[in-house]
Structure 1
Amino acid sequence: MGRSYQTMKRTNLNDGWRFRLGLPGSFEEESWREITLPHDFMLGLDTKPDAPAGPASGFYPGAAGTYERTLHIPAEWEGEAVLVRFDGVYRNAAVSLNGSRAAFHPYGYSAFSVDLTPLVRYGGDNRLEVTVDTTAQPSCRWYSGAGIFRGVELLHGPAQRIAPWGLSLRTEALVGEDALVLAEVTVQNDGPRAAACRVHVALDGQDGQAADAFTTVWLKPQAESVARLRLNVPNARLWSTDHPVLYTARASVDCGGVTDEEETRFGVRTITVDAVHGLRINGVETKLKGGCLHHVTGITGAASFREQDLRILRRHKEAGYNAVRCAHNPPSSGFLDVCDELGFLVVDEAFDGWAAPKQSHDYHTTFADWWKRDLDAMILRDRNHPSVILWSTGNEVYERAGCGDGYAWAARLAEEVRRIDPSGPVINALCSLWNGLSDEDNAAAAEERRRRLEEGGTLQNFDGEYTARIWADRTEAFAAPLDVVGYNYMEDRYEADHERFPDRVICGTESVPFAIDKIWAIVKHCPHVIGDFTWTSADYLGEAGIGCCFYHAPDDDSVAEMHLTRPYPWRAANDSDWDLCGFERPQLAYRRIVWGSQETFLAVRDPAHFGMREDMSFWGWPIVSARWTWPGMEGRPIAVDVYSPGEEVELFLNGRSLGRSPAGEENRFTARFTAVYEPGVLEAVSYRAGEEISRARVETAGAPVRVALLPEETETSPDGLLFAAVELQDAEGRRVPWAEPLLTASAEGAASLLSFGSAQPQAVDNYTAGAFRAFEGRALAVLRAGFTPGEAVLRVACEGLPEAECRFSVK
């Protein structure tokens, strides 16, 4: 009798959708438009000063939307299970098939599967509908996006099959050159009869099969069972940040002639954490040079694209980063794929809050009913990613001081993580006690806060003497079930808390960029502190203006409002190493130098700010740039900072030495000069022990004479992305940093214009409209290829300048 190979098959469902704003019954037929997933429909809405979420969302409004697609289900599938898997839908997703509700999923950041089997019409067309509703605002503390913003796939297969995310692997031990790997295969039986199933797991490397093992499980009807197999991998090639080697694991289940198969990528590596040796990857002590990243890192919005992830993560890697924290929600599965490939260490975070609200319509409304399902989904989906080294159960949750049964919840979530993945350390990011206190503690803290504000203090991440004094006592029981305790903006506690809690492992889960030199010095010499994550490494939409900086006349007694966010038209946070277009900001050069780079960086201050008082937000950076183009400022005094690892720096203007100034770690890696602006060439030379170690140079740019398109790649595959920087250049090809005209962009042929815009943090233009003002002389165009190979043409125009054109290939 022949064997039936009815394996669980996967089909990408990202194409073939229609979308329209509004919920069913609220629109006309002609309002539909064809789209390809992933799709963020919030990005296409115009920002509004009166948007309900205000600066939290970057002044983007909420909305509802409806997606639908036809599924043809062949008659021969009858008797098989049919499921659809969503990697993320924001939010309140209602899934229906043929007009009947199949599932509802409120959390926008967790993956979920929907069993369509009872509703399927086999041998015909089926209408799949997904409605999304983000009208209840604010639902998030940052720009969330809206829609089916991650991938979708259709699954179908036999009644006896491997469960969704049912293949798990983890490295139990490294023995000499070999690795012992535990594989667990969860097999489910939706059929009416019991079955004996033979389970096989093979691990394939670059040179073929590296190891395999067999076992048998007994399945009762309408039940599931877990097969556990141990594989010895000889001469194992280990996954690490420098050598991210990946294996492919394949599991097959043979249940009396019906076979199912599953495969996943896997990296052989071990993780240990302790207060003596810190974090060890494969036994090697490792410090986390990390950046916090929201799921939106640019002008493409919340839609998850592999090319966008590759672009920003490669830049992180080149700059010296080895870690990212997914703040404050699970990322897309594709993001973690890229982290695996590039060798990043990831903090995978489940929630921004628990039962207590941070925003009126955030996750607290569903936490009690959904926390376990959403937490399990993150760990089941992500546990095979070698990049994931820490599971985070939350960020700055209100319950951290014990209110709302916080101590029990901290233990409950940590144990749920360990139930699924016993090998993954658990972390939670704690902050100072600016909320979450008992009435008695709140009264004492409020009295001190009132007194400190009268003395000129601020409220951002406020940690007064009283709350600092009680912090260790109030949070001790919350931190007890954690393997690593995350400290947000509390580097001043690292050494003192080690004396009280000598076995506590600490990670700086958030820090301000301007303090990286001081923070990194502590991290380097404290074994119990495993690393630092800056807030943030890449700019994002929402939390508008938290990284702002203002300048005032010396006799102006007013103080800029620095309480967290800024008013419209602020849109971006403006607090990062890379801006919304992925272009480097000066603070990145400073960070690289702190981490050991020998480069020199010219950080020139605007001469209009000379002699003024600087008011910088908690997450801000001084307004500086590698620029020597200041029309109309000739003869005016100008301050020049030079970031340098050298002992001293010499500054030259048009070949004349302006003297030397000390730099290096003792001077916060910054040499300071005052000059008189004149056009020409500014150059800085760094010295150590009298010898030059590096230099930097900037030149004055002339008036813009052309629009230059600078493609980052010239070809892509179908449905891929293409990026092209847009610059206003002078006759010598130099970017003109003061040029900020309106630019218009269009694309035709094998690709369309996905997004077009600049990194201006205060903007009223729409990234999807094809018209945007340049910022500091540049912008970015992002094209999305169609499914048909051919040539694509990008055109960018600016009034008074020749139109620029660039061609791409879709292959």
Structure 2
Amino acid sequence: MNIKRIGVKYKLIILFCCIQLSAWAQSERQHISFDKNWSFAYGHPSDTKKDFDTGTGYFSFYAKAGYADGGADPEFDDRAWRKLDLPHDWAVEQPFSKKGSFSHGFKAIGRNFPDASVGWYRKSFTIPAADLGKRIHIAFDGVFRNSIVWVNGHYLGNELSGYNGFEYDISEYLNYGGNNVIAVRVDATMEEGWFYEGAGIYRHVWLNKTNELHVPTNGTFVTTNVKGPSADVKAVVTVNNDAKSVKNFSIRQTIINPQGKALAPATIDNVSLNPFENKDFTISLPVENAQLWSIEMPTLYHLRTEILEGGKVIDQYDTRFGIRTIRFDNNEGFFLNGKHVKIKGTNNHQDHAGVGSAMPDALQIFRIKALKALGFNAYRCSHNPPTPELLDACDSLGMVVIDENRLMGITDTHFGNLKYLITRDRNHPSIISWSIGNEEWHIENNIIGAHIATQMQAYAKSIDSTRAITAAFSGGWGQGLSGVMDLIGLNYIAQEDPDAQHKKFPAQKIWGTEEGSTFATRGVYFTNDSLHMMAAYDKKPRPNAYSIEEGWNYYAKRPFTAGMFIWTGFDYRGEPTPYGWPSIGSYFGMLDQCGFPKDDAWYLRSWWGNEAVLHLLPHWNWKGKEGQPIDVWAYSNCDEVELFLNGKSQGKKPMPVNGHLEWKVAYAPGKLEAIGYKAGKKILTDFVQTTGEVQNISLSADKPVIAADGKDLAMITVSVKDKKGLAVPTASNNVSFSITGPGKIIGVGNGDPTSLEADKYIETIKTIEITGLKEKVVEDISNRAETALNYDDSKWDAAFKAERNADFGKRVHALVYRGKFNLDAVADKDQLTLFFKSIGKNQSVYINGQPVGVNLTDTTNRSEFKLDKKLLKSGTNEISIVCKPLIKPNAWTEVNQSPGLIQILTPAATWNRNLFNGLAQVIIQSTGEVGEIKLTAVANDAKTAVLSIKLQQYPNNK
């Protein structure tokens, strides 16, 4: 893709953003990122004590409004919780365990690990007093899974699925001009899919502010009708009136072309809505000399929708769209803008090495670019609705998409999920098909499946009739849902018969939604089952299956098939077929979990891409195999390829169309070189060469400059080279990383499906409760001997045994409390903090007889004390509090009875990763400042490397 054109495109986006901000200055709508400054802690699915005693009050949050307790109580003390930003996947932070789920990559999460399967998130925020009267919503793009949300103690709702976005109106629950607290409980105990899914708030969260009269989220639907060089754009907009009175207004729609020019607007005047009414309105806008969206030129327009009341813009909603035509033909396949396009796609789950499912937006772009570079033009969201930023990347970079529903069914739940998917995503030009389901083995072959599929297909068309509806079918052609779908997706032709399907249902469109499923470990060329390593030659995964090459030849020869999707583009966590523990990731990908291509990817690039290709495999480091035959393959689209070993020809062979070439070569150290010919002329060379010992670490970034926005990424490839500068393809060095400047490491990986190394190195937090609290009534709070270490309190009463009413306040003027906490051995690097909660007035706090807080005033309800480790000891430690008593203001209230807890924070260990077959990856993210990042890589047996990454406000190297 042309780099200069990409740079221009992003400058135009920046220009449009400036136009957008100018309009927002007039509009009351705000779309505010809510990702920063959350607190996180683990709860528990069944132990109420470990779940912060939530739901144990006399009135629950289900019983009466605003009665949230425990972790959902806005007054709950979360100071000892871990501080983090979203998106966040806590599953990727867990260790691996043989007791973990096979399908989820053996991470220590799920039913066997209740202490790591429920997570709590809390965030404090302020809302200006001037916002009173606006509609304010909290919107989640996705939480895995079974989330419950509260704001200021008010229960908002549940969302069971980990893939649905959801939004709550919180306008009436807010403290305008004051502090507010949102709490989210997430239960990832139960799996939703059979692949790695992560855990937590792993997608973005937004705070949306609008006028009472506004366009709701996902409230526009743009369709286009191309007529020669021009196009008619039909814009349907929903308007909500959430006011208590009738609203009279106008709607103005303006298209902004890719160059940032606003075209002539269209307006609907004199519109009214009754209180709490919503209605759809349609406007048609002509576009002369329309610039079409395509895979090669993904041109994007914007629709600006403005709501005007009394001539003033009170709401503005932006919609990005593309002008294009799509058509599936039952005999000729797929057409984009009238041009035949063979679908050359990949299936993909939504995780990446180092970060799991919490992928930053820039990583979505990196992954789509990696697929495009290998000649892939289509992406199937397997098997769930994607994050919106994935679709944005496909729109911007030119990748057509199957957007997939999670679960088939016809209840309000199933239809509601399908409707949300389509309504949310329908303006993305990249989407060419909605998939209603995948391999529903229990129903796909029977009449029940046919009934469900028929109903779902019709329902999907009622929402969007512009795209094809498909379902992925895994076997038993001609029955069940395979007979009722307009566009049937075939999973694995070894189980299907497309020719028979086409003959029986000649009007039906057909494509291959899954093909391949071949096994390969990057950089491995001899299968070793004991080590769970699969040779990276394209072979049948099983006798009754097809290799990648066989699959593509089948589809390429059948014009009635629209094309096929390889299983998969990227390796993913979980489903480590054909192995089990300790394999923790799949072997199916054309790229590994880091995005490093495997050799099979070069076969597809040869026949799916548009450039000349020559790729030679395997590597040529085979010490100990001298004289033994080595399988040598060449992937190429050249006419002929000739192979040389140390300058001696091993033979020239013609390249079969959609094929590859093979030689048997007796190994000898040196240089193995291939030369590709077109029309008899040498056009390409590729070689592999025996390397020496590792000498140097090499660091390279996917881009030299990133945005100083706190979001952008640099993807760093780590390799090692010998003294001649040749990359060593078999290296397994352990490399440690450190970073300086305005950036942070957020993940490491190496693509090894058997690696049990950590993806992240994060601080860990342990909390210690103060127990055995006792009390003694004393005359005053000065110079109390009772605070001494080892003071005998054996005859004291349990604390708070007497009710703290007005009578107690008259009788008791001062108290001494004593409690204890137990510490294991504390490391030098550990940081200890007492998060103190007031249990009295005018109090002083002592640990092991030494003062840590003296004369704390009535207003100091919560204090923090960094504890000197010299004060502490392994085993039992003592805490004493001298104070005047707290008295209940009302008979129905309680005073605080907990003095807080001790937090032990262990800083993160040094980032490191073993190279796998010569490669590893480090993901660096901007922290938001302009400057320079320096990444240093160190290994015991190689020269240290330092890489610099610059951070600018608006880099043009996206």
TM-score bucket of the superposed structures, by smaller chain: 0.7 to 0.9
| Partner Cα distance (1:118, 1:472) in 2 | 55
Return the offset for 1:162. 0.8
Match of 2:93 in 1: 44
Q: Which secondary structure state, in structure 2, belongs to the residue aligned with residue 635 of structure 1?
A: coil
- 16 and 78 in structure 1: CA distance in 2 versus 1, 3 angstrom threshold: same
5+ residue gaps, structure 1: 356-366, 433-467, 547-564, 605-626
What is the RMSD computed on CA atoms of the aligned residues? 2.3
Contact 1:57 1:144 in 2 (8 A): no
Residue 77 and residue 647 in structure 1: after superposition, are their counterparts in 2 closer, same or farther (change >3 A)? closer
Give yes or no for contact 2:375–2:604 (8 Å, CA) kept in 1. Answer: no
Match of 1:686 among 671, 676, 700: 676
Deviation track 1:230-279 (CA, whole Å, cap 9, x = no partner) reads 11111111111111111110001124457211001110112222213422
Deviation, 1:760, is 0.8
What is residue 717 of structure 2 aligned with on the other side?
A: 725
Match of 1:300 in 2: 355
2:511 to 507, 516, 526: 507
Q: List aligned pairs for 1:396-545, cutoff 5 A.
A: 396-401=439-444, 403=446, 405-432=448-475, 468=476, 471-476=477-482, 479-480=483-484, 482-490=485-493, 493-512=497-516, 514=538, 515-544=547-576
Aligned residue among 926, 933, 938 for 1:792: 933
Q: Residue 631 of structure 1 aligns with which residue?
A: 623
Which stretch shifts more, 486-495 or 311-320? 486-495
User: Does 2:706 correspond to 1:716?
Assistant: yes
| 1:455 equivalent in structure 2 | none
SS in 2 for 1:594: helix
Alignment match of 1:566 (pick from 579, 583, 592) = 579
Deviation at 1:60, TM superposition (A): 4.6
Partner in structure 2 of residue 782 of structure 1: 923
In 2 relative to 1, CA 419–92 (structure 1 residues): closer, same or farther, beyond 3 Å? same
Tell me if 1:348 matches 2:399. no
Q: Distance in 2 between matches of 1:207 and 1:192?
A: 38
- The residue type paired with residue 473 of structure 1 is Q
Question: In structure 2, what residue type is equivalent to 1:186?
Answer: T
CA distance in 2, matches of 1:686, 1:157: 61
Amino acid at match of 1:160: L
Change (3 A) 1:704 1:506: same
For residues 44-83 of structure 1, the aligned pairs below 5 Å read 44-51=93-100, 53-62=101-110, 63-83=117-137
Secondary structure in structure 2 of the residue aligned to 1:165:
coil
Q: Could you state the TM-score of these two structures normalised by the residue count of structure 2?
A: 0.71
Q: Structure 2: which 5+ residue stretches go unaligned?
A: 1-23, 45-50, 54-70, 72-76, 111-116, 519-537, 539-546, 762-910, 953-958
CA 1:255–1:29 in 2, change beyond 3 Å: closer, same or farther? closer
Secondary structure of the structure 1 residue equivalent to 2:217:
strand
> Which stretch shows the higher mean deviation, 393-402 or 705-714?
393-402
The separation in 2 between residues aligned to 1:796 and 1:291, in whole angstroms, is: 34
Paired residues of 1:758 and 1:774 also in contact (CA < 8 A): yes
CA–CA distance in structure 1, aligned partners of residues 305 and 665 of structure 2: 68
Q: C-alpha offsets along residues 608-633 of structure 1, whole Å, 9 cap, x if unaligned?
A: xxxxxxxxxxxxxxxxxxx1112233
Identity %: 31
Conserved 8 A contact 2:140-2:167 = yes
CA offsets, 1:51-103, max 9 Å, x none?
1x224434452322111111211111111111011111111111111122112
Q: Which segment is superposed worse, 697-706 or 401-410?
A: 401-410
1:181 aligns with 2:236: no
Is 1:115 matched with 2:169?
A: yes
- Per-residue deviation, 1:187: 0.5
Tell me how far apart the structure 1 counterparts of residues 556 and 507 of structure 2 sit (CA, whole Å).
Answer: 18
Letter in 2 for 1:487: L
State the shift of 1:328 in Å.
0.6
1:21 alignment partner in structure 2: 42
Partner SS for 1:123: coil
In the alignment, which residue of structure 2 is the partner of 1:550?
none
Rounded Cα–Cα distance in structure 2 between residues aligned with 1:599 and 1:152:
43
1:196 to 248, 255, 260: 248
State the AA in 1 paired with 2:314. T
Measure the CA separation in 2 of the matches of 1:595 and 1:139: 34
2:324 paired with 1:272:
no
Alignment correspondent of 1:766: 758
2:413 aligns with: 370
Q: CA 1:354–1:32 in structure 2 vs 1: closer, same or farther (change >3 Å)?
A: same
Equivalent position amino acid for 2:698 in 1:
A
Change (3 A) 1:541 1:215: same
Aligned-pair CA distance for 1:804: 2.2
Task: Write the deviation string for residues 451-499 of structure 1: whole angstroms up to 9, x where unpaired.
Answer: xxxxxxxxxxxxxxxxx4xx313444xx42x331111102752222211
Counterparts of 2:630 and 2:400, CA distance in 1: 42
SS in 2 for 1:265: strand
- Given candidates 647, 651, 660, the residue that maps to 1:655 is 647
Match of 1:33 in 2: 82
Report SS of the residue matched to 2:573: coil
Q: Which of 179, 184, 192 does residue 125 from structure 1 map onto? A: 179
Query: How far did 1:140 drift?
Result: 2.0
After TM superposition, the runs of 4+ consecutive aligned structure 1 residues lying more than 6 A away are: none
AA partner of residue 468 (structure 2): P
**Alignment: residue pair count:** 711
Alignment partner of 2:275: what SS? coil
Among 134, 139, 153, the alignment partner of 2:188 is 134
Closer, same or farther: CA 649–349 of 1 in aligned 2, 3 Å: same
Looking at structure 1, the residues matched to 260 and 209 of structure 2 have their Cα atoms a distance apart, in angstroms, of 31
Q: Offset of 1:31 from its aligned partner?
A: 4.4
Partner of 2:569, secondary structure, is coil
SS for the counterpart of 2:421 is helix
Contact 1:204–1:211, Cα closer than 8 Å, also in 2: no
Alignment partner of 1:336 out of 378, 388, 391: 391
SS of the residue 1:90 aligns to: coil
Q: Which residue of 2 aligns with 1:324?
A: 379
Output the CA distance in 1 between the equivalents of 2:662 and 2:759. Answer: 38
State the shift of 1:121 in Å.
1.3
Residues 152 and 181 of structure 2 are in contact (CA less than 8 Å); yes or no, is this contact kept in structure 1?
Answer: yes
* Partner Cα separation in structure 1 for residue 722 and residue 214 of structure 2: 64
Cα offset, 1:132, TM superposition: 1.2
- Structure 1 residues 225 and 4: CA distance shift in structure 2, 3 A: farther
Residue 168 of structure 1 pairs with residue 200 of structure 2:
no
**Residue aligning to 2:697:** 707
1: CA distance, partners of 2:724 / 2:402: 45
The equivalent residue for 2:667 is 677
1:271·1:282 contact (CA, 8 Å) conserved in 2?
yes
Closer/same/farther in 2, CA of residues 644 and 248 from structure 1, 3 Å limit: closer
The yes-or-no answer on 1:395 pairing with 2:416 is: no
